[in-house]
Amino acid sequence: MGKIKVTKNCNGIEGLCVIEPTVHGDKRGYFSETYNRRDMAEAGLDYEFVQDNQSSSVKGVLRGLHFQIRYPQTKLVRVIRGAVYDVAADIRRGSSTFGKYYGAILTEENHKQLLIPKGFAHGFLVLSDFAEFCYKCDDYWHPNDEGGIIWNDPDIHIAWPEVNMPLNIIERDKNLSTLKEAVLP
């Protein structure tokens, strides 16, 4: 029943994919398979996800850019309520797109998901009054293995959308390293 549309190598960045599941709707609402391992494998995306995470945030919250250092994770991210601007930045040493990023608006209406492979820093900005964000990971979270890059890194130069209010960023994220200074996977 599932089937997905996969847009590979977003913004020319190898491995980064937008996943669009088929949505079946009628006057009652809609149904969608948000994940089907067989469909993903047929698209060449064969991952074994071991952990699901969910967060809620209010408008203007900016989370990230985060990654795991010794235990990098592939993530499949989506929004189930509201809207976010989601960003993945390539931090793979030796990659021809090192320091390049891709950003996409993920909403409860567009059902888009972003597949972020190992070797990327990830973050998002909440655009709606409230958002619920879900993601699958192919490795467990290791609390002593967190890395990060400051959201406004001058070398990555992310074009974050305006939210017409001050950004809400926790102190930890305000004090992350630049790409040049960060300890990378």
Give the residue numbers annotated as catalytic, written as ranges: 66, 135
- CA distance to 14, 20, 135, per residue, from 40 (Å): 17, 11, 15
At residue 173, φ and ψ (nearest 5 deg) are -75, -30
In the numeric block, which tokens belong to residue 93?
């040493």
Q: Collect all residues with Cβ–Cβ distance below 8 Å to 69 and sequence separation of at least 6.
A: 145, 146, 147, 183, 184, 185
